[in-house]
Chain A
Amino acid sequence: MSEKTLTRMDLSEAVFREVGLSRNESAALVESVLKHVSDALATGETVKISSFGTFSVRDKSARVGRNPKTGDEVPISPRRVLTFRPSHLMKERVANGKKR
């Protein structure tokens, strides 16, 4: 079987199936989950979802980068980046999922 790409629609469909709310409300609630996670991260907060994983915001300091094509030096401004650390459960499920 070739791999698929799931979207918000598939997550809403799962909520619709599992919980039995209307499709519209299921979609709104999926959106609400993503919104609350994003809002917390935007304020710099760490979001820790047990047995799923941890999203944390890291501050990167300014550095000098290089345009790989021209070799020119370009200043890279300080920025915040998001890192995701998967839970043990997720790592295990992914590692064992298709193999055996």
Chain B
Amino acid sequence: MIRSELIQKIADENPHLTQRHVERIVNTVFDEIIEALAKGDRVELRGFGAFSVKERDARTGRNPRTGESVEVEDKKVPFFKTGKLLRDRLNGKA
């Protein structure tokens, strides 16, 4: 399923809303999650999962082609942990 299919499904269920409205709703949900993570905040959606930011320490990496070592700066990366209900559903338990 891609973004446009998700928008279509929700639009079909809400005939009183225009396609443009549904687009803005769906985009707002995903944009809000990105904005929160950019600020370093967590987003916890019970039953679905939690988005958070993990800090990776600086390390000395290596260029796999040349074998040269390179300094890799510390960085922040997005992380998602699946919620219990969704994990159970994937395994046919809920």
Contacts and interface: CB of A to CB of B under 8 A. Distances in A.
B32 A14 contact: yes
B87 A82 contact: yes
A6 B3 contact: no
Given A4-B42, A36-B10, A38-B48, A57 B90 contact: yes
A98 B39 contact: yes
Interface residues of A, number: 53
A95 B44 CA distance: 20
A81 B28 contact: no
Interface in B63-94: 75-78, 80, 82, 86-87, 89-91
A97 B6 CA distance: 28
Given A6-B36, A91-B78, A36 B45 contact: no
A32 B12 CA distance: 12
A49 B3 contact: yes
A95 to B, nearest CB: 5
Contacts of A50: 2-3
A15 B25 contact: yes
Interface in B14-60: 14, 21, 24-26, 28-30, 32-49, 53
Most buried by A among B10, B21, B35, B39: B39
Given A6-B32, A8-B45, A52-B30, A32 B13 contact: yes
Contacts of A38: 47-48, 86, 89
Contacts of B25: 15, 18-19, 21, 26, 29, 33
A50 B2 CA distance: 7
Contacts of B40: 3, 97-98
The 4 A-B residue pairs whose C-beta atoms are closest, nearest first, are: A97-B38, A84-B80, A93-B38, A86-B78
